[in-house]
Structure 1
């Protein structure tokens, strides 16, 4: 059965995007070579659940072969939570106005793989609704000073699943219910 996983790269000071949603800092991170957790994550993802700011936002790889989720490696169904869908169709993308419908559709599409939640607002909504199963954080060696925090105004008890050291450490948590 599919699970909701919020994965994000976060600055050491707790931000997943700079001021105004700026993601350009991601393109400036040093290439540290293979990363076992990141390299093995995207094949485990069956669907994406994002908010409009993330879907329509700043992709630091725009216009390159690495554009899109997981550096352009992933493709599949995307479900975007928004009250203002675009007038034109976007392939493999469904726009939904409410969280329960978006989560239900994404879980059905993911099969036995993860629904990867992208975007702090949608992840916070999922956490507040008791729907978020896991959180995976990649810690980038950068201080942004301001921007979009990993979570805002949410509390939850977490249980560590795993962690890795290295140039980009990771911490993977299960959300306790």
Structure 2
């Protein structure tokens, strides 16, 4: 059974982007080391990670078979050029954007709700995990009791304002298991199992 794993970079004070959707500071750690990694996908980005971060990144990506994300993340990422490096991407949205879907693209749009998007992403992942992107989508998955793990990369920066990762949680508190912790350059990688949520 595929797991749903939230995968996000976040500032130490809880923001995934600044107030203009800028994400540079929380992603600086992708370019802080000497280990070269080709991210794959149509974007063909090249990362330069510290050795601990490179090992962490490679291990995580090997687990993933598909991506679930929201429309805002899709827009900020320019649709990953039509092909996400982690596998087929399922975008939760109210309306399909103009010019999409595109030929030879592995980006799919889901307009009939979260549970449908999760089903489609898990089916595409073929037994591997589904990486969940975007603050709103992660919050929706948590609130629906669908998220299995949180993989949060804590960047060594304080943004002070912007878009919070955990801003609209219902039925808190959520109980998490003990984390695995990996220290990189300019980042701490934390991975928590989601155990239970308070439904009272």
TM range (shorter): 0.7 to 0.9
Answer whether contact 1:21 1:58 (CA < 8 A) is retained: no
Runs of 4+ in 1 over 6 A off after TM superposition: none
Aligned to 2:37: none
Larger RCO of the pair (alpha carbons < 8 Å, separation 6+): 1
1:162 and 2:180 aligned: yes
Aligned to 1:19: 19
In structure 2, the residue matched to 1:149 is 164
Distance 1:175 1:119 in 2: 17
Equivalent residue for 1:89, pick from 82, 97, 101: 101
Pick which of 16-25 and 104-113 moved more. Answer: 16-25
The answer as to whether partners of 2:64 and 2:86 remain within 8 angstroms in 1 is: no
Post-superposition offset of 1:169: 1.1
Aligned to 2:39: none
TM-score after normalising by structure 2 = 0.76
Tell me the residue number matched to 1:44: 63
Shift in Å, 1:12: 1.2
Classify the secondary structure of the residue corresponding to 2:137: helix
Match of 2:10 in 1: 10
Structure 1, unpaired ranges of 5+? none
Aligned length: 168
Structure 1 partner of 2:192: 173
Question: 1:6: how far off?
Answer: 0.3
1:13-71 superposed Cα distances (whole Å, 9 cap, x missing partner) = 11111113212324644513231212221121100000000011157xx89xxxx85xx
List per-residue Cα deviations over 1:60-118 (Å, max 9, x = no partner): xx89xxxx85xxxx242110000021233131111112101000000111122110000
Larger Rg: 2
Q: 1:134, CA displacement in angstroms?
A: 0.3
Give the SS at the match of 1:173.
strand
Q: Name the CA distance, whole Å, in 2 between partners of 1:84 and 1:2.
A: 27
Distance 2:8 2:21 in 1: 14
Deviation at 1:166, TM superposition (A): 3.7
Match runs of 1:54-93 below 5 Å? 54-58=73-77, 74-87=85-98, 88-90=100-102, 91-93=105-107
Mapped contact 1:6–1:135 kept (Cα < 8 A): yes
- Counterpart CA distance in 1 for 2:24 and 2:191 is 25
TM-score when scaled to structure 1? 0.85
